[in-house]
């Protein structure tokens, strides 16, 4: 779905009447809703459906990143803005996992 979504969302965002920022925000909201729905999956099929939708929405978010940056900041600032965005995504990835892991440890009472 990721490959299909990248091509599909790219074609959709190329249409002149479609704002790529709205498509990007739609994909972010879709990713959040699919992740929030994981605890409600009762069987394997529902989990597969949720993650197929997550892959679809993720592909739109990833493929529209550079287009959104150009729309917001201009083509002359694309390299700097994309570099800063990737830098902060990396910092969030490094910091986020240990914080999430610490919250899942069982607490012991002394």
What is the per-residue burial (b if ≥16 Cβ within 10 Å, else e) of 77-102? Answer: eeeebeeeeeeeeeeeeeeeeeeeee
What is the per-residue burial (b if ≥16 Cβ within 10 Å, else e) of 46-64? Answer: eeeebbebbbbbbbbbebb
Q: Are residues 2 and 23 in the same domain?
A: yes
Q: Are residues 32 and 54 in the same domain?
A: yes
Confidence of residue 33 (pLDDT cuts 50, 70, 90): very high
What is the tens place of the pLDDT at every residue in 58-104? 999 888 988 889 988 989 999 999 999 999 989 988 888 777 766 55
For residue 22, being part of any structural domain is answered with yes
Q: Which pTM was predicted?
A: 0.76
**CA–CA distance, 106 with 108 (Å, rounded to integer):** 6
Residue 104 in tokens:
């899942």
Q: Are residues 20 and 56 in the same domain?
A: yes
Q: Are residues 44 and 17 in the same domain?
A: yes
Of 64, 50, 5, 54, nearest to 31 (Cα)? 54
């Amino acid at each position: 779905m990721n490959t299909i979504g990248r091509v599909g969302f790219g074609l959709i965002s190329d249409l002149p009447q479609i704002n790529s920022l709205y498509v990007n925000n739609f994909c972010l909201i879709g990713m959040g809703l699919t992740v929030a729905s994981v605890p409600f999956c009762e069987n394997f099929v529902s989990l597969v459906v949720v993650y197929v939708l997550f892959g679809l929405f993720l592909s739109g978010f990833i493929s529209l990143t550079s287009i959104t940056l150009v729309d917001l900041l201009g083509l002359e600032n694309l390299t700097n803005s994309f570099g800063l965005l990737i830098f902060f995504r990396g910092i969030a990835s490094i910091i986020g996992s240990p914080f999430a892991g610490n919250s899942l440890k069982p607490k012991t009472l002394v």
